[in-house]
Every structure is written in structure tokens, then in C-alpha cells.
Amino acid sequence: MALSLDREAYYRRLRRLYGSWQKGEEEYGGVDAIVVSVGVDEEIVYAKSTALQTWLFGYELTDTIMVFCEEKILFMASKKKVEFLKQVAHSKGGESANGVPAITLLVREKNESNKANFEKMIEALKASKGGKRIGVFSKDKFPGDFMRSWNDCLSKEGFEKVDISAVVAYTMAAKEDGELNLMRKAAAITSEVFTKFFKERVMEIVDADEKVRHSKLAESVEKAIEEKKYLAGADPSAVEMCYPPIIQSGGNYNLKFSVVSDKNHMHFGAITCAMGIRYKSYCSNLVRTLMVDPPQEMQDHYAFLLQLQEEMLKEMRHGTKLCDVYGAVMDVVKKQKPELLSKITKNLGFAMGIEFREGSLVINSKNQHRLKKGMVFSINVGFSDLTNKEGKKPEERTYAMFIGDTVLVDEEGPATVLTAVKKKVKNVGIFLKNEDEEEEEEEKDEAEDLLGRSSRAALLTERTRNELTAEEKRRAHQKELAAQLNEEARRRLTEQKGEQQIQKARKSNISYKNPALMPKEPHIREMKIYIDKKYETVIMPVFGIATPFHIATIKNISMSVEGDYTYLRINFYCPGSALGRNEGNIFPNPEATFVKEITYRASNMKTPGEQTVPALNLQNAFRIIKEVQKRYKTREAEEKEKEGIVKQDSLVINLNRSNPKLKDLYIRPNIAQKRMQGSLEAHVNGFRFTSVRGDKVDILYNNIKHAVFQPCDGEMIIVLHFHLKNAIMFGKKRHTDVQFYTEVGEITTDLGKHQHMHDRDDLYAEQMEREMRHKLKTAFKNFIEKVEALTKEELEFEVPFRELGFNGAPYRSTCLLQPTSSALVNCTEWPPFVVTLDEVELIHFERVQFHLKNFDMVIVYKDYSKKVTMINAIPVASLDPIKEWLNSCDLKYTEGVQSLNWTKIMKTIVDDPEGFFEQGGWSFLEPEGEGSDAEVGESESEMEDETFNPSEEDYEEEEEDSDEDYSSEAEESEYSKESLGSEEESGKDWDELEEEARKADRESQYEEEEEHGRSRKRKAPTGRGAHPRNPGPPKKKRK
């Protein structure tokens, strides 16, 4: 059995169980040992025994007996299960090293009576503490011979049984972080299925006035969880329903979770829906009431219900008694609407986890248990048997409303809602048109029919009326997001205000800390230039004094020979020399006096008696300074690369041979000049890539921001891409994006092959490529699944949604950009493109105009100091799908016709954030925005209009010129200018236009004659080439 068991979680949870038992609170107090036996029963979905097994081992183990004694633990199971349990049974000595008693494993024989094993367990029970009272889960009764024989054995010995279900449930109720993550995921899936499937389906049914039975609708919800698009990226095999969805309407309501959806047709009134989804054994729950055309009283009751739920969330804090939470809600009802006391649900929720409903932790008037941080509850408040005074039919007269969420208890403040599905009246109300409006429309339609409007036109208007709703929905949602965006940005900027970054001064390079370190070389005494390589310093004679200058102070040097002399010119860095950005802050003390340049001269003539010419010193100095400068600059560049690099933990190597591993991969960026193959292996806390040459690159799991798996569908490579939180160094450079890929099929095709298209070889090659693609995809998927299991879902690989992809050019070339669940990526081209959606403030579309085929997308980040990202040349056809996707991700987008200067805009915002938000913040990007920039835009366009308005005299002059000698082309351009000019000028009359046409004909005639004429080197200049003062048509130019 290749199943792995999380040993740490097992020991940690077993210690918690033993800790609670040793404290001896409540039923634990009188118990000498605990017995948990699980048989086989397909009918039982939730049982305390199986829940305890899942909690300890992560799996349900059928036909298994667990005996927990004071000093030892016995497990009896089949041979396979014993193999699985051996992972936690290895311990030396009596007491396990992990602070829990040692484990004894007993193998159950299928055909024999297991008498010897039963006796061992009975002995252990008698030896534990008093040996008389055993703790059991009395409600769990499993069928089968094995369970029967074991229960008979216990009964013979006359043990006293105590039900410990409640206390064990209380021990398991406070969830660990890993469990909470699973419950959050379960809640997210429930929310997705409700919002994207159920709610949309109900809207369709109401819109189309369909007749659908409750039971059929419930079945369709169960089928929807098989589709990946509703599962928020989860594996469908790990997702199941906690209970069949309960849909009720039309006067028959029972606000419990034990009922089933009846076969009545859905009635368009108050529709209650309860559904819960279980992910990897952990449950979640959601209840909502959708209301079709609710009367005001119904809306008031619903608003009151929301108020009660808010009150309840406020009360649910660590340490509060469950009965106090119930009491606080009832007090609100008594004060505000006492008539609803009899209508409210009997209890207000229950604890939830591996079991859907924990019977001992129900929120009612009697429960004395206290809430603990980390407990998860399903809270459900409802009113039943409410009367609708406006109802005419029997099913309309009675209605109920029910809302519920999965919530997490925190230390301080109200409980956190995990099922974040909107529940205000505007979100759950479906408002149809009034009858009066319909009658008016009918009258209009009749009138139009009399006028002869075809049925097709009616159909089209109906269609457009329905289609507009998607855009309207988007707009409404975007409006909400706009307000939210400005508030959040303002709050964020005020928080950051105190953390202003200080500009770093360039570190001062001191050559020698004291004069004693100066070298005592003869060169220095002889007033020659000397280079001290150790301290990277040039010692030059200045006014007869040897003066050290650090190599960092030298900007450049040049040497020239003029006649008998060699000149060495040294330029230094000083304020004002390099007019770059932030130039003033480079120098630690910019007020000091600086040397700008020094020139030395030496003779090229050898002095009698000397071995070398004096200029040799300058030549050597020139060479060595260049050398030292190069070395210093290289080192500085490397340090700059390393600057800000966060030190990573060391990779913990797993020596186990069965590590997840992928072979024959290439790495990008390359480690060396040439690309090299290697293998990627997953270890305890990270990946290690080892190239064939032996180079190693380590990537730790905790440093991975996005792990993207790009399958080879429609691509030439299959990629695992890692976008890192902090850059890592390899190949002497820092990298935040690292990817491992392998090629699929031929990237290049030999065009020299002149083969038939149905050639056997080609067909065979295609077949082989298909098989190879499939094999690679399977290998990569297996690797990913193993890595996710190894990291306990902490590292999740995202797969881009190809159907949501669009073309754009983030860098130089166009590529397919595809969204994943948390980012927008392109991993197949290099450099890769990754934008984290959580870091995005808003998206602005530029150049969105009717006549343009492309538009640009600007991504503005929450960190305003970060440069905005531009994606150019996106086809206009992608605009709507992109808007739909951004809207579903709750990202604000705006659009405009012109391109903006984003560097300037971001600088303005960063310089004065308060002023920016006082003037309406980001609203200036809205088309109808009346922010500060709208006014700027107006004034600019006015100026343009003014510059485009030449005086009347100019016009007259232009007209005279054109009448005289301008060709048709020039005239057309002039006339188009005129039409662009003053708007008061009236259009031309027919006579003028005819005259122009005649003139144009004459011109074309000349051109024809020229073509038929003798051959010549150059044609006569026409249009703008003609001399403006030459009257009449242009003469032919002879050779």
C-alpha cells in the first residue's frame, strides 16, 4: 500500500487526545481506556469512529480496532493496513520518543476467530488504570461478524461502557492550520458552485419561465461538481457533496439538513437552497434564500435576518459559551420583532469538521461548551411559516427564509466568514417587471405590429435587451470596485507614509585608513605614478606630494603622444560631471572641493645614463590603471547584482531514492553559455536541478510565489515555471523567474523535403509526436501530484486557462498571455511574463477606438513606486473576454482613447497622494470622470482647435495658389485642410465642383499623353514637385 501517513500530524494529534484524557475533564474523568472499533457499512457517511481515524491517519480504515490504554496503544487490522500503520509504530523502548505510548500492531486473520488477539487487547484494557470503565462511541454500531465477535468478547468481561463522543469531539473541534486550509478550500468550492452554477441556473429558469422540479435541480448541482470549472482549481476526485442539496419553495419548507428536495416544481417566490461540499474529508456549508419579486415586508424580514446573523458573528469569540451566543441573538429578536420568536429556527448552528454536524456542539439555549479559537461552525438562522399578505395562490401565502455560512472562530473580534457569497437583498433578489409596465409594452408592441414590424425584429430587440445585461452587470460591479479601490489605496498610502525610503549615499571608498599603510616604494619617492593593487589606489605626485586616489574616484584615463612627449590625462568623478538622475546624492560630501582632471607629461627621449625613457612610467600606469579599474567595476557589478538578495535556507536533501524526479529537462535562463540538460528533483524543503555538467540550482518551496505548469497543448514546449518571491543567484546574475522545460516534437521543419502530404513517414511522425506529448504530459502531471502531496498542498501548481488567453506584446514580440487562478502569465516565450493579480491596483485600456484593430493594456500596481506594466497590440476582439475575466477577479478596469504618460502620472501620485485622492483618485480614468485630468484634457483639445484655425486671409492666398498651378493631389490636400479648418465656411456649390472635375480630367489626360510619348529618363514633376510660381500645366521634359 503506497499511501503515505503524515507522522508529525499523527503524533501531534494523539498527544492532544492523551492530554485531554489525562486532564480528566467531564466524561474523560472516569475512563480507564478508550476503545474505537470500525466495521464496514456503506450506509454510514459520518461516524465519530471514522472521523477519529481520518483525523489521526488521514484515511478511514475499515474492520480495524483501536485500543488506547494508559501506557500502550494496540491496533488490530488486516495485513495491508498493518503495513500502512507501521509508519507510526516504529519506536525503541516502551515509551515512544514522540511523547505518546508505544504502539503494538496485531494482524487480523480473515477466516479464524482472532481469539488470541482479542485476549491480548482485553489484557491491555484490564491493565490500564482501573481496568473497568472503557470509553466508547455508543452511537457507532457497525454490522459484520468481526465486529459482533469483538463486542461479545467485551460484554463477557463485564466492562462498564461510557460514551465519550462529546469530549472527543471537543478535543478535535479546534482545527490546526492544515485543517483550516482544507476547510477554506471546501468553502471556496461551495461558494463557486452556488454563484457560478446554482444562482445562474435559477436566473435562467425564472427568465425562461421553465418548470423544473426541486429534485431535478438538486441532481444538476451534484453533477456540476464533476466539472472542473466550478471547483476553483481543485481535484474533482477529492470533492464530494456533504449531503444532497436541499431546494425548497412554494409554501413547503422544513429548515433542517436531514430533509431531501421534493418533486414539486420550483415556485417563483422565496427559494431556499442549502448545499455543502466536502474537500479531502473536510466539510463546509452554505444556505441562501433567493427571492423573486419580494414584497417590501419580505425584504424587511430578510434584512432583519441578516442583522441577526451579524449579531451572531460578533458574539462568536474565543471563550464565549454557546448558550450565550444563542441568548444574545434571541435578545435582539425580543427587543425588535418579538412576533418572530416563534418562527425562528430551534438552533442556530453547529460545529463542523470531518463530520458535517457535531451533535454535542450545537448553538442552542442549553449548551454550556465554550468556543475555542480555530473552531469552525456552520451557522444557520431562518424564519419559517411567515405569511405573505399579498399572496393570492396557496403556495404564495406561506414562505420561509434561511441563511447560513461556514465561519471560523477567532481570538478577538467577530468570527470570519469562509463562504463569502453576497447575501444582501440586491444580490439575492430577482426583480421582474411590473404588470403595468408589461401592459404598456404589450400596447406598444401591438401598435408596432399594426405598422408592420416583423417578428424577426421583435426577436432581435428581445435578444439585445437580454444581452445588455452582462455589460450592465459588469458596470455595476465595476462601480462598487471603484469606490473600494480608492478607499483601500488611500488607507494603504497613509500607512506607508511613515516608511519613506532614504536615498542611499554612495559608500565612501577610503584608500588608507592611516598614513602608516601607505606603501614605501622607490617609485613614490622618485615622484612617479604608482598603482597599489592591494588597496586599489593610484598614488600620484601632486605639487611634489604623493597623493593617493582610490580607483573608484577615477572616471576615465587617456594617453596621447605629441612630439617628444607622452601625455597622461586622468579625469575624476565630481559633482556636475555626470548629469544623470539623482546625481546630487552620489557623493558623501558634495560641498567639498573636487579635482576634475590631472594631466602628466613625460619625455619620450632617453636621458644619457638612464636605462628607460621617462614616459615608460606613464605607459605602465595607463595599462595598470585600466586593469585595476576593470577588476573593480566587475566586482562592483557583481555586488550590485547580489544587493538585496535574501539569504535562502539550506536545501534539506532527502536521501530516499523515491523522490519525485523529472529527467532530461533544460533550464532557462541558461547556467552557462550553452544550454544544458539536467534533472529536477524534489527534496524535503525545495527542488534541486542538477545539470549534466554538475551545476546545481536550488529553489526552495517557501520562496516560490507562483508555480505554473504549462502543458504542451498547442505549444512546442512543456514547462514548469517558478516565479520567485526573492531573487536567487546563479550564472553570476540574479533571477526571479526560473523554468524547466523540454521540447515536444520538432521546433524546426526541414522545408527541403518535397514529400507527398499523405506520406507514410509524416503520418507516422505525427502519430509518434502525439504519443510523446501524451507521455510527457502524464510524466509532468505525476511529478506535480507527488510534489503537492510531499508539500502537503503548501505548494500548488497553477495551470493557465488557455480558453481565457489573449494575444499581446508585453516585450518585443507578440505572445499568448493566459490567466491562472492568481496571475497572468506567458511561460513559453523568453523573457517570461508573470503578473500577480493580488498586487494589481487597476487595469487601464488605452487606444480603445472604433476604427483601431488593437489596443494596449496598462497594469498599475498597488505599490505605486513600481513601474507600470504595458501590454501592447492586443486585438480588439479580446476586449470583452478580458473585461469579463477581470470583473470575475474583482479587478477594477477603465478605458480611454489616448495613451497617457504613466511615468508622470505615477510621480504625481507618489509626490502628493492626499491631493490625488481628494480630487477623486482613480476616477479621472473613467470616460465620464470629472477628475483633474479631464479638465487638462479639455484645455489641451481647445488649444489644438485654436492652432488648427488659420486666419481667413491665409485661406484666400492658398486658394489663389492652388487655382494657379497646384495639381489635383495638392488641391485635394488643400481642400481637405479647408474642410478641417473653420466650421463657419459653407460647402461648395455644384458649379464649383463641376469645374474642379473638369480640371482633374485635363490633368489625367496630360498624364496619359506622357505615358504614350517617347521613352524618357524622368517624368515631369507633378503635384508638389511643380514650382509654385509656374503658371499653367507642367511642360513635358525632353531628353
Task: Write the pLDDT tens digit of every residue in 121-133.
Answer: 888 888 888 888 8
The whole-number average pLDDT for the span 690-707 is: 93
Q: Please tell me which of 283-292, 576-585, 994-1003 the model is most confident about, judged by mean pLDDT.
A: 283-292
At residue 875 the predicted structure's pLDDT band, cuts being 50, 70 and 90, is very high
Closest CA to 428 of 202, 217, 210, 232: 202
User: Which of the four pLDDT bands, split at 50, 70 and 90, describes residue 499?
Assistant: low
Most confidently modeled range among 68-72, 284-288, 357-361: 284-288
Q: Is the pLDDT of residue 413 over 90?
A: no
- Statement: residue 18 has pLDDT above 60: yes
Question: Are the C-beta atoms of 745 and 716 separated by less than 8 Å?
Answer: yes
Q: List CB contacts of 552: < 8 A, sequence separation 6 or more.
A: 509, 536, 573, 632
CA 183/CA 189 separation, integer angstroms: 10
**pLDDT above 70: residue 387:** yes
Query: Residue 122: is it exposed, middle or buried by C-beta count within 10 angstroms (0-12/13-18/19+)?
Result: middle
Using pLDDT thresholds of 50, 70 and 90, give the confidence band for residue 384.
very high
Lowest-confidence range among 47-56, 523-532, 954-963?
954-963
Please tell me the predicted confidence (pLDDT) of residue 91: 53
Residue 1038's pLDDT is: 43
CA dihedral 796, 802, 805, 810 (to 10 degrees): 60
The per-residue pLDDT for range 266-322, each reduced to its tens digit, is 999 999 999 999 999 999 999 999 999 889 999 999 999 999 999 999 999 999 999
- Of 70-74, 511-515, 708-712, 1003-1007, the poorest mean pLDDT is in 1003-1007
Q: How far apart are CA 412 and CA 437, in angstroms?
A: 51
Q: pLDDT value at position 537?
A: 94
**Alpha-carbon distance values, 706 to 652, 720, 889 (Å):** 21, 10, 17
Cα–Cα distances in angstroms (integers) from residue 410 to residues 214, 353, 377, 407, in the given order:
37, 16, 12, 10
List the one residue out of 295, 524, 528, 279 whose CA is nearest residue 418.
279
- Maximum distance among all alpha carbons in the chain? 132
Q: 864: Cβ–Cβ under 8 A, 6 or more apart, which residues?
A: 493, 841, 906, 909, 910, 913
CB 54 within 8 A of CB 182: no
Q: How confident is the model at residue 823 (pLDDT cuts 50, 70, 90)?
A: very high
Q: Measured between alpha carbons, how far is residue 166 from residues 26, 79, 323, 670 in Å?
A: 9, 32, 16, 60
Sheet of strand 806-808, all strands in order from the earlier edge strand to the far edge:
806-808, 815-819, 823-826, 833-836
- Tell me, what's the pLDDT at 747? 59
Residue 488: per-residue pLDDT:
85
Out of 244-248, 471-475, 791-795, the most confident range is 244-248
Angle between helices 296-315 and 322-336 (to 10 degrees): 150
pLDDT tier for residue 83 given thresholds of 50, 70 and 90: confident
Inform me whether the pLDDT recorded for 755 exceeds 80. Answer: no
pLDDT band of residue 397 (cuts 50, 70, 90) is: confident
Provide the 8-state DSSP code for 693.
T
pLDDT at position 758, please? 60
Residue type, 893: Y
Would you place residue 1009 in the very low, low, confident or very high pLDDT band (cuts 50, 70, 90)?
low
Residue 559: per-residue pLDDT: 94
Among the listed residues 275, 303, 307, 304, the one whose alpha carbon sits nearest the alpha carbon of residue 288: 275
**pTM of whole model > 0.85?**
no
- Quick one: pLDDT band at residue 111, thresholds 50, 70, 90? low
pLDDT for position 590:
75
Picking from 73-87, 467-481, 715-729, which range would have the lowest pLDDT averaged per residue? Answer: 467-481
Residue range 920-966, pLDDT digits in tens:
888 888 876 444 443 333 333 333 343 344 444 444 444 444 444 44
Cα torsion angle, 213, 219, 221, 224, sign:
negative
- pLDDT value, residue 711: 92
Query: Does 439 have pLDDT greater than 60?
Result: no
Q: Decide if 268 contacts 206 (C-beta within 8 A).
A: yes
Contacts of 651 (CB under 8 A, 6+ apart): 683, 685, 686, 688, 698, 700
Look up residue 809 and give its DSSP letter. B
Query: What is the pLDDT averaged over residues 708-720?
Result: 92
Task: Say if residues 882 and 874 touch (Cβ distance below 8 Å).
Answer: yes
**Mean pLDDT lowest among 285-289, 585-589, 667-671:** 585-589
Region 402-406: mean pLDDT is 95
What pLDDT was estimated at residue 847?
94
CB atoms within 10 A of CB 409: 24
Query: Worst-scoring range by mean pLDDT, 494-498, 533-537, 1003-1007, 1018-1022?
Result: 1018-1022
For the chain, percent of residues with pLDDT exceeding 90: 41
User: What is the predicted pLDDT for the residue at 461?
Assistant: 41
pLDDT category of residue 500 using cuts at 50, 70 and 90? low
Torsion of CA 816, 819, 823, 827, to 10 degrees: -30
- Residue 601, H or E segment: strand 597-603
CA-atom Rg of the chain in angstroms: 41
What is the predicted pLDDT for the residue at 750? 60
Between 584-593, 629-638, 798-807, the lowest mean confidence (pLDDT) is in 584-593
User: How many angstroms separate the CA atoms of 154 and 163, rounded?
Assistant: 15
Check residues 574 and 974 and name the one with the higher pLDDT: 574
Evaluate the omega torsion of the peptide bond into residue 590 and state whether it is cis, within 30 degrees of 0. no
Average pLDDT over residues 545-573: 92
Reported as a single tens digit per residue, the pLDDT across 618-657 is 999 999 999 999 988 888 877 777 776 778 889 999 887 7
Average pLDDT, the chain: 82
The reply to whether omega before 875 is within 30° of 0 (cis) is no
d(CA 70, CA 128): 5
Instruction: Check pLDDT > 80 for residue 70.
Output: yes
Q: CA-to-CA distance for 755 and 132, rounded, in angstroms?
A: 88
Q: CB–CB of 166/172 below 8 Å?
A: no
